[in-house]
Each structure stands twice: as structure tokens, then as C-alpha cells.
Structure 1
Amino acid sequence: MNENLDLIITVITGAITGTFLWEGFKFFYPDIKQYFKSKIDAKNLFYKNLDPILKSASELYGKIESLSKEDFSTFINLRNSNSSDPIHNQKYVFYLFAQFWAQLEYLRLESQYIDLSKNKKGNQLLRFIETIESRKYRLLDRSIQRVIGECLIINKDQKFRVMTLKDFLEALDTENSPLSKWILLLEQKLLNVRDKEQRQSVLRFGVIISALIDHFDPRYKTVRRRSIYLHKLNPRSKKILEQHLFKYYLKFIKNKKRYYK
């Protein structure tokens, strides 16, 4: 008799517990569903934008590396420039910076309703963007970098895309072009690299771009591996990279010494 009573109690308890669990699940289901959806959306957004960001980063870093080899002669000593047309090369450099900032702005536009930080790699990409826009490492004021990036995002056939080099050059040469006044600020920055600290700030910016490439494409399936111009970094820059950049901003980067040793 007691065994039958215990069985009945167990069945009733199980039914009650199951009912409560089911009711609780139904109550929290929308939040649980939204949680997993936000993580999936963040992951999809990250991988959709990673490839163009990496490619624009690679092009930009390759050009900064090239400029470092010629001691920025394209901007400060045209006769020693490695380019057959230094003035055109200057415009190409402007485009590569603008294109990179545009890819970051494109990501920002697409992530208005998606929390990219829900994805681990997405959160790390946000840290890179914060670094690139931080007072210590940005080349221009944060708002100016963003405006230049926005200028290169155009709407065609109800789709956003980043301006091509041809479109950029034509826009730059157009009289009273809105783009020109913003690019002029970048031009002034690069024409001022005779100043050692100004030059080092560009080189440090390049190191951040290189770290971004290495981190998100460690096997170099999208872009090719490039060397770091360590011999062009002065002791102060190496100290900043070691004791500040990789200690506070990009703590998750592996093989940090590659960028300053």
C-alpha cells in the first residue's frame, strides 16, 4: 500500500513539476529565442563584413609599408619617390585610407540593430575599431575619419557599396567636391610626416592594421602575410605599442612581440 502511495505521489509531483517547468519555459521562451537570434545575427554580420575589411586593411597596410621603405618620399621628397607619378600615388594613398574607414562605417551602418559584441570575434573587431578611433592612435579626429568613410559609401540600386578608385578620383577632382575638403585634412597629415612624431603616428597606425589582419586571418587565406617594419619604429613607438596598445587596447592579441621586438 505504501509503495503504491509513494508511486502516486511521485507521479503527481512529476506532473506538477513538469507543468511548472513548461509554464516557466513558455514565459521565458521569447527571451531565450531572442538571445540565440542575436548571437546568430551578430555572427552572420561579422563574417559578412570580415572579408572586405581584411582586403581593404591589407591594401592599406601594404601601401604604408611601401611608404616606410621610401621614407615617405611620395609626400615629402618627390624626386626620391618609388612611384613614377607621386601625385597620383598620393591620391591612391588617400583612397586606401578612405576605403578602409568606409568599410568600418559600412559595418556600423549594418549593425544599427544588431549587437556585434554578442559574438566573440565581433567584440574583438569592435575593440580594433575603438583603438583606431581612440585619441592616442587615430590619424585624424574620430568624426573626420567617420565622415571620410561615409563619403565613400554610395547608394546604387537600393544597395550600399563602397566607392571604387575611379569614382573616388573623379569625385576628388570635381569642383567644389564635398569629399575634397575632408581629404585635404588627411593630405595635410601625410604632408607633415617630415615631423618625426607625425611619421611615427602613421607607422603605429599601420601596426594596428597589421595586427587586425594577423588576428582575423591567421592562416592568410584572404590576404597575404606581410612583414612588420620594425626598423622604422623608434624606441618610443615600440614602448607605446608594448606598454599601452597591447596591454590595454588589444590584450587578446597573441604573439604581441611580433609588432615591437
Structure 2
Amino acid sequence: MAIAGIDWIALFSAALGGGLTVKLIEIGHDEFQRWRTRRDVDGKTVDRSLEPLLRATDELFGKLRSLVEQDFVPLRDVVKDGLDDESFASVVYLFVQFWSEVEIVRQRGLSTEVARSKRGRSTQAFLRCLESRKLRLIDRISQRAIGESALVDGRTMNFVEYVRHYDGDAHSRRWVSGLIDLLSTTQATDTRQAILQYAVVLHSMIDTLDPEHLVTRDRPATPNKLTAKSWKDLNYRVFKIYLPDVKHSQKYIGPPKRRP
């Protein structure tokens, strides 16, 4: 019905529609603000959790890169009787420290944050890759046991603490024996290539999770040390299947290699 030229039904509908639109906009804005706040909180939580892991990864990769450049010669003439040799013990400890930080990230249960964080999902992909059957250096259970054995009060033991713990704890010596055995056979090409492939993944993990190198160092790769078989494994299995999101994988493995 119209009175004095006014269509009241149309006016009421317009007012209702306008109010509803404003309300929907308010709800949408509030939801966006909550999503952004949650994303920021999740991001900070993941960043705090990953920093110690990245530092441990950087230290381990730095040592492995140095050994790779020297074809592991510094380890070949060392008497591997436990951790008595300081240089050998330091290499063992860097693996222990890295696996311990992996366990800390795992035990903190970042499932919710990881599910919502691109950086967290990338971390999960790298850890799954490093524990995959053809890439891991020792069996998964031993690796996790080594990491757990180095934890004290929710943190990783320092070098002196761990060596002292190793000397006095039979279980610690039991679990780390596989790693010691592996590092004692670096005169074998297969062992050196296995460690080199592991180091390549560590390198790509550092560059992906800390692209600006705020807590890590930007180091050049050593693709010249890879055999044709290792290049093929890394290119077609590691980077194509496990880590498809890694950009510029050629940086780590170089151009295709021909078999001699």
C-alpha cells in the first residue's frame, strides 16, 4: 500500500536488507580479525618452537659440510672407542642435539598450529623425509631414543653434560651405538653418500624454513661430491616425492650427472 506517494513495503524491505547487510559485514569483519589474530599467535608459537631446531640443524649441517669437503678424512684416522676422542664426540653430539630438538618439537604437540601454519607443515614434510626408510641414517626408533635420552628438564643437554651422561648410562650407550658404528665407516663410499644425501636435505630445510637466515648461515652447496646414483635418488625421490615444494632444488644437487 502507498500513502502520499511512499511505498512502505519497499521502504521496509530496503531498511531490513540494509541492516542485514551491515550485520553480515560486521560478522565477517570480526571473523577475519579473529582469524588474523589466531594466525599471528600460531605463527609466533611455531617460530619459537622452530628456532632451537633450526640452530641445531645449522650446526649439524655446517659440520657435515666441512667433513664432506674433506671427504671425511678427519674421521677416518680417529679411534672410535666410545666418545673418548673429542673431535669424533663432537660430530656424534651434533647428531644427538639435532634429534633431541626434533623430539622436543614432536612432544610439544604442535598439531593445531602445524595444521594452520605453512612453515609448520613444511617442517613436518622435512622431518618425515629425514626419517624415510631410504634416507634415514639409523633406524627410526634408535633415532628417537637417542633424542629422548639427551633431554633433561625439557631441554637438550649441552656437550659436556651429554658426554658425562654417555659415560655413566648404559642405555644411552646402547642407543647411540648405531650412530657411532655408522660414523666409524666413512671410508666406505656408500656411507659417505648416505651422509651427504642427509646433509642435502638439512641444507634445503634450513633455506626453506629460514630463507632470510635470521638464525642460520647461508652456505654454498657441494653438489660436486654427489655420485650419479645419489643425484638420481635426491632428484626423483626426495625432491619430487617428499619435498615437492622446495624451490631451486638444483642448487643442492647441481645439474644431472652421467654415470662414469
TM-score class, shorter-chain normalisation, is 0.7 to 0.9
Task: State how far apart, in whole Å, the 1-side matches of 2:108 and 2:11 are.
Answer: 58
CA displacement at 1:86 relative to structure 2? 8.6
CA displacement at 1:213 relative to structure 2? 1.2
1:8 aligns with 2:12: yes
CA displacement at 1:112 relative to structure 2? 5.0
Task: State how far apart, in whole Å, the 2-side matches of 1:133 and 1:185 are.
Answer: 15
Runs of 4+ in 1 over 4 A off after TM superposition: 12-15, 17-22, 31-38
Task: State how far apart, in whole Å, the 1-side matches of 2:34 and 2:111 are.
Answer: 13
**8 Å contact 2:50–2:105 — kept in the other structure?**
no
1:183 aligns with 2:176: yes
The corresponding residue for 2:257 is none
In the alignment, structure 2 segments of 5+ residues that lack a partner are 255-260
Q: What are the residue-to-residue correspondences of 1:77-226 with 2, within 5 Å?
A: 77-78=77-78, 87-111=85-109, 114-155=112-153, 160-174=154-168, 176-226=169-219
**8 Å contact 1:230–1:259 — kept in the other structure?**
yes
What is the percentage of aligned positions where both structures have the same residue?
Answer: 27
> What SS does the corresponding residue of 1:53 show, helix, strand or coil?
helix
**8 Å contact 1:75–1:191 — kept in the other structure?**
yes
Q: Which amino acid aligns with 1:173?
A: D
> Normalising to structure 1: TM-score of the pair?
0.82
CA displacement at 1:248 relative to structure 2? 1.3
The corresponding residue for 1:54 is 54
Task: State how far apart, in whole Å, the 2-side matches of 1:12 and 1:58 are.
Answer: 61
The corresponding residue for 1:82 is none
> What SS does the corresponding residue of 1:215 show, helix, strand or coil?
helix
**8 Å contact 2:129–2:242 — kept in the other structure?**
yes
Task: State how far apart, in whole Å, the 2-side matches of 1:245 and 1:227 are.
Answer: 19
Deviations 1:43-81 (A, max 9, x none): 1221102221221111101111122233223433339xx
The corresponding residue for 2:258 is none
Q: Which amino acid aligns with 2:222?
A: Y
Q: What are the residue-to-residue correspondences of 1:232-247 with 2, within 5 Å?
A: 232-247=225-240
Output the aligned Cα RMSD: 2.8
Deviations 1:83-113 (A, max 9, x none): xx99221111111001011111111122256
> What SS does the corresponding residue of 2:218 show, helix, strand or coil?
coil
Cα 1:214–1:14, aligned 2, differ >3 Å: closer, same or farther?
A: closer
Deviations 1:133-182 (A, max 9, x none): 11121111112211111111211xxxx211111101111111x4321111
**8 Å contact 2:78–2:88 — kept in the other structure?**
no
Cα 1:41–1:135, aligned 2, differ >3 Å: closer, same or farther?
A: farther
Task: State how far apart, in whole Å, the 2-side matches of 1:20 and 1:224 are.
Answer: 50
Cα 1:14–1:133, aligned 2, differ >3 Å: closer, same or farther?
A: same
**8 Å contact 1:43–1:116 — kept in the other structure?**
no
Task: State how far apart, in whole Å, the 1-side matches of 2:66 and 2:145 are.
Answer: 26
Cα 1:219–1:20, aligned 2, differ >3 Å: closer, same or farther?
A: closer
> What SS does the corresponding residue of 2:71 show, helix, strand or coil?
coil
**8 Å contact 1:172–1:180 — kept in the other structure?**
yes
Q: Which amino acid aligns with 1:131?
A: C
**8 Å contact 1:117–1:126 — kept in the other structure?**
no
Task: State how far apart, in whole Å, the 2-side matches of 1:248 and 1:59 are.
Answer: 27
Task: State how far apart, in whole Å, the 2-side matches of 1:143 and 1:38 are.
Answer: 35
